[in-house]
Amino acid sequence: MNARKYVDRCLMELFNNGMRVTEQRKRMLSLVANSKHPQTAMELYRKMKRTFPGLSYETIYLNLKLFMDLRFIETILLGNEVRYRALPAVHAPLVQYICMDCKKAIQVSFDPSHPAFPMPEQFKSVNYKLDIFGYCRDCCDRGGSPAVQ
Amino acid sequence: MNARKYVDRCLMELFNNGMRVTEQRKRMLSLVANSKHPQTAMELYRKMKRTFPGLSYETIYLNLKLFMDLRFIETILLGNEVRYRALPAVHAPLVQYICMDCKKAIQVSFDPSHPAFPMPEQFKSVNYKLDIFGYCRDCCDRGGSPAVQ
DNA sequence: TATAAATTCGTAATAATTACAATATGGATT
DNA sequence: AATCCATATTGTAATTATTACGAATTTATA
């Protein structure tokens, strides 16, 4: 995913919906887009604090909620932590390979219309999430064997 | 999934690992297995309280953690809530169709070795989770259009 | 640069989760 | 069945995560 494009798309969408493009939101989206692995609210807060020393935690949560509503981001549970990650533009289906050690997420697009899915008759599907957990090359090499997702 | 079999399997596994088969654990596993939709820690606590009036919250969390480690259950985020659901025996790959309205989860087995998935070369996969979000027949009929996952 | 509405801040309340020592209990042993 | 001991549960409290709300600030626009 191109981080620059992603941020621009989100900012434009904010603007088009009559919402404000603030420095905090710019930075927050940029952080999310440029992070190798999904971030916790606390991690985002700490990083934002560097740029905005007087930042309130409330701002983080309000914007996380806003970004969720606008589908800029989505949540994932890793270990017991709630983490947030960038959600690519709608209709760009993805598989995510998540390293359970370093928490890096590799995103791969794929075709969800594939007959491999045994869709039940009466279910109206609007979204899906395919997360595959394992260990990336780097962590395999290091021989780490951490707590399981 | 057969709830009775599931609970028995879990209890046996507890026993085989030198852990104790307590009334609390029996009840908790039974609750998880017999719930149509994934439960929050609080929901489980409330229901358990009926059987064990002096129950401590700590017991819920300790056992949730234990059940996670033993892979009896797994977590899912619905809305902003962390919910727990029964995890069928290992090597029984599943797709879960989750109704975003009533939160009912329909489980369907499928074949993950299907070439539809573009596995990256250097990734050692140990587990995966395919959740499809949408609306079940009942909720479509009622015409509900609730908050999005 | 003045304005109005939206956003952020500061503070505090609420909810979720974890910690720890004392007590109780499961299951092995006798 | 009575005893014993390691494990599980309880009770209480601490910590962490999340939400609430009025006041102050900032954005986008004229």
Give one DSSP letter per residue of chain A, joined into a string.
--HHHHHHHHHHHHHHTT----HHHHHHHHHHHH-SSPBPHHHHHHHHHHH-TT--HHHHHHHHHHHHHTTSEEEEEETTEEEEEE-PSTT--EEEEEETTT--EEEEE--TTSTTS---TT-EEEEEEEEEEEE-HHHHHHT------
Q: What is the pLDDT of residue B119?
A: 62
Q: Which residues contact A53 (CB under 8 A, 6 or more apart)?
A: none
Q: What percent of chain A has pLDDT over 70?
A: 78
Q: What is the pLDDT of residue B144?
A: 47
Looking at the fold, whether B41 and B113 belong to one and the same domain comes out as no
Looking at the fold, whether A33 and A61 belong to one and the same domain comes out as yes
Q: Which residue has the tokens 């079940």?
A: B136
Whether pLDDT at B141 is above 90: no
Looking at the fold, whether B107 and B129 belong to one and the same domain comes out as yes
Global pTM value: 0.75
Whether pLDDT at B136 is above 90: no
Mean pLDDT throughout B26-42? Answer: 94
Looking at the fold, whether B78 and B100 belong to one and the same domain comes out as no
Q: What is the pLDDT of residue A113?
A: 54
Radius of gyration of chain A (CA): 17
Q: Which domain holds residue B109?
A: 94-142
pLDDT band at A115 (very low <50, low <70, confident <90, very high): low
Whether pLDDT at A146 is above 50: no
Asked if the structure places residue B149 within a domain, the reply is no
Looking at the fold, whether B15 and B53 belong to one and the same domain comes out as yes
Residue pLDDT, tens place only, A35-83: 988 999 999 999 999 999 999 999 999 999 999 988 899 888 887 889 9
List bases, strand D, within 7 Å of protein CB.
Answer: 7-13, 16-21, 26-28
- The CATH number of residue B107's host domain is 3.30.1490
Selected residue with higher pLDDT from B142 and A11:
A11
Instruction: Provide the β-strand partners of residue B105.
Output: B98
Looking at the fold, whether B39 and B78 belong to one and the same domain comes out as yes
Kindly identify which residue of chain B lies nearest to residue A101, measuring between CA atoms: B124
pLDDT band at B62 (very low <50, low <70, confident <90, very high): very high
Instruction: Label residues A79-92 b or e (16+ Cβ within 10 Å = b).
Output: eeebbbbbbbeeee
Looking at the fold, whether B59 and B132 belong to one and the same domain comes out as no
Per-residue tokens: A103 = 């928490």
Q: Which residues of A touch B (CB under 8 A)?
A: 69, 71, 75-77, 80, 82, 95, 97, 99-100, 106, 108-111, 114, 116-120, 122-137, 140, 148-149
